[in-house]
């Protein structure tokens, strides 16, 4: 079978990484890169592929079968409309959009054009996550009672030299970082019904938050919590503890804990704690620890391979547009909870029956992009 022809739209940090991965995979070929910033032409030059500033021109000349969209969140809808108009399948970086109406419209225009949408929540492809989900969903912990996540690390000072990262509407860890944690909680534990969040910016004094405390209620009755900060030297984050990304310092620590009626699981070390004899349960009896070993693999590579099979029609998207929109709804509900200083119900009917005003955001607007970014 011929390699799947892919284009990358947006050649920033993650887009250039996607481009390198496509270039290195035998099952796909990189036919072009598009970015509004002409200085990013050098990314295409290093990979020896054509560079474009106009998306329609790229699609017309190179005729890719799929496009990886790594542009700013607010441009995802406009880019998706152009690609869908040419029948191009989409891998859209998380979050799927900046508002729920925009996310809904992406799903609608793709469906009308017969295009497939995969949302880039790449951590779901990680074998460690798959194993954690299997244990929780498979009942090894009994009935799920609670889940606790910690995401704490120190972003370097130069990170905030980029102005938009200092601004609340675009920067901050909720949509940039915690969208991953929220998506994984949904994937492992089930749908999130309600959130109650508080934020602070005392560490740096910027407009954007640097620390958050979030409590969650799941539809199955379980409760959850997230403590998050990008202003502390800590080993307790997915990035540092999982070893997934070689660009981060790695420490063999746990950052997620899942607690059930019959056992508890610490992630990513996959430490399972249970009583050896269920008839002898209680704090006076010893707990037994067992470890699960999982062969690790790069989830971005696994996601790319999955996308190629999606384009070929051999698999359905692991995270389709509606699924990605539900994770976005949780993140937007957290923003609203902070503003309202009150709990917020997550929009339950994201597509069927409309979207409630909880976490909805402004109406979607999709001006045709003059360029790709």
What does CATH list as the number for 127-291?
3.30.360.10
3-state secondary structure of 47: helix
Edge-to-edge strands of the sheet including 344-345? 287-291, 271-275, 264-267, 256-260, 144-152, 223-229, 211-218, 192-200, 344-345
- Lowest mean per-residue pLDDT among 248-257, 287-296, 362-371: 362-371
What are the domain boundaries of the chain?
A: 4-123+300-319, 127-291
Helices 299-311, 13-24: crossing angle, 10 deg rounding: 70
The string of pLDDT tens digits covering residues 52-95 is 999 999 999 999 999 999 999 999 999 999 999 999 999 999 99
Q: Is residue 33 within 8 Å of 316, Cβ to Cβ?
A: no
Q: What is the pTM of this model?
A: 0.91
Q: Is residue 124 within 8 Å of 187, Cβ to Cβ?
A: yes
In words, the CATH class of domain 4-123+300-319 is alpha beta
* DSSP calls for 274-321: EESSTTS-STTS-EEEEE-------HHHHHHHHHHHHHTTSS--SS-H
The residue assigned the tokens 């880039």 is 120
* Measured distance between the N- and C-terminal CA atoms of the chain, rounded to whole angstroms: 32
The string of pLDDT tens digits covering residues 260-290 is 999 999 999 999 999 999 899 999 999 999 9
CB atoms within 10 A of CB 280: 10
């Amino acid at each position: 079978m011929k390699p799947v022809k892919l284009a990358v739209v947006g050649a920033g940090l993650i887009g250039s990484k996607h481009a390198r991965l496509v270039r290195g995979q035998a099952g796909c070929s990189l036919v072009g890169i598009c970015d509004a910033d002409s200085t990013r032409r050098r990314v295409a030059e290093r990979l020896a592929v054509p560079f474009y500033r106009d998306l329609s021109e790229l699609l017309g000349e190179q005729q890719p079968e799929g496009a990886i969209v790594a542009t700013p969140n607010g441009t995802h809808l406009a880019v998706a409309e152009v690609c869908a108009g040419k029948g191009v399948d989409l891998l859209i970086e998380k979050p799927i959009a900046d508002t729920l109406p925009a996310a809904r419209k992406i799903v609608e225009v793709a469906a009308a054009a017969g295009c497939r949408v995969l949302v880039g929540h790449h951590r779901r492809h990680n074998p460690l996550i798959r194993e954690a989900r299997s244990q929780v969903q498979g009942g090894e912990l009994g009935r799920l009672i609670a889940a606790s996540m910690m995401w704490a690390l120190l972003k370097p000072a130069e990170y905030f030299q980029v102005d938009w990262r200092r601004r609340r509407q675009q920067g901050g860890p909720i949509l940039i970082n915690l969208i991953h944690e929220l998506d994984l909680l949904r994937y492992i534990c089930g749908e999130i019904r309600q959130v109650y969040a508080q934020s602070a910016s005392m560490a740096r004094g910027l407009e954007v938050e640097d620390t958050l405390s979030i409590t969650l209620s799941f539809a199955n009755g379980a409760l959850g919590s997230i403590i998050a900060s990008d202003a502390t030297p800590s080993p307790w984050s997915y990035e540092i503890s999982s070893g997934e990304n070689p660009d981060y310092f790695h420490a063999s620590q746990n950052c997620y804990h899942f607690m059930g009626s019959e056992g508890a699981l610490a992630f990513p070390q996959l430490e399972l704690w249970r009583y050896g004899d269920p008839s002898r349960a209680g704090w006076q009896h010893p707990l037994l620890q067992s470890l699960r070993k999982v062969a690790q693999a790069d989830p971005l590579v696994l996601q790319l391979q999955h996308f190629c099979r999606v384009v070929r029609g051999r698999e359905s998207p692991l995270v389709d547009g509606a699924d990605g929109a539900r994770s976005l709804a949780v993140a937007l509900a957290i923003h609203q909870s902070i503003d309202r200083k009150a709990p917020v119900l997550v929009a339950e009917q994201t597509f069927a029956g409309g979207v409630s005003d909880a976490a909805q955001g402004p109406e979607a607007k999709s001006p045709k992009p003059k360029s790709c970014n």
